[in-house]
Chain A
Amino acid sequence: NAGVTQTPKFQVLKTGQSMTLQCAQDMNHNSMYWYRQDPGMGLRLIYYSASEGTTDKGEVPNGYNVSRLNKREFSLRLESAAPSQTSVYFCASSVQGDRKAFFGQGTRLTVV
């Protein structure tokens, strides 16, 4: 079982460049999430999707957009990268409701 797969694992961007982080899950989960983790901090929710076709803002959505392409895939787009977006990004999925979330391996993004 692959679980939650994120691509790429590492990325360096120049300020102002755009990119899309990809996430796919093979567990037939309804809910998918994007978090960022900054050094010495817990994770903060960027966006989430409760089901295919729906998305909602989390705690830190500014500078990001998302697309729930289908039930399996949830992408995160940075339209104009800024150094403040340097972080490790985690995608997660869960069966909707009170079940544990499964996390991908993370994407380490550096914006210079």
Chain B
Amino acid sequence: ELKVEQNPLFLSMQEGKNYTIYCNYSTTSDRLYWYRQDPGKSLESLFVLLSNGAVKQEGRLMASLDTKARLSTLHITAAVHDLSATYFCAVDGTQGAQKLVFGQGTRLTINP
């Protein structure tokens, strides 16, 4: 059974600092997705990572995938308040059917 774990679950940081969210998963997969959710809102797709060593960047966010370690990271550079949200990773263990298993989410709060 595929399990996905994120850490930390809660993260409070100051503007301008760097930090990393980790996503570990339990069975082989080379398809991993990162989503953002604002309070009371829907999910917004951030990154789709489809191979070992994949790296995607947009603005202050960068995601990477290491399929051998079963680990993905979401790195935040020089955080700004607008990045405050809950971030989810999700893993597809079904070779493209997108039956995603989600992590618990990381609630990120960025303080001025």
Using a CB–CB distance below 8 Å, which chain A residues touch chain B? 31, 33, 40-45, 48, 50, 56, 58-59, 90, 92, 94, 96-106
Chain B: interface size category: 20 to 34
A102 to chain B, nearest CB (A): 7
A-B contact count (CB 8 A): 61
Cross-chain pairs A/B with CB under 8 angstroms, 5 sampled: A40-B105, A42-B88, A43-B90, A43-B100, A98-B48
Contacts of A104 in B (CB 8 A): 42
Q: Does more than half of chain A's interface fall in helix, strand or loop, or is it mixed?
A: loop
Kindly state the separation between the CA atoms of A42 and B90 in the bound complex, as whole angstroms: 9
Kindly state the separation between the CA atoms of A43 and B45 in the bound complex, as whole angstroms: 14
A42 touches B104 (CB 8 A): yes
The chain A residue with its CB closest to the CB of B31 is A98
A33 to chain B, nearest CB (A): 7
A100 touches B101 (CB 8 A): no
B4 touches A42 (CB 8 A): yes
Check if B78 is an interface residue, CB within 8 A of chain A: no
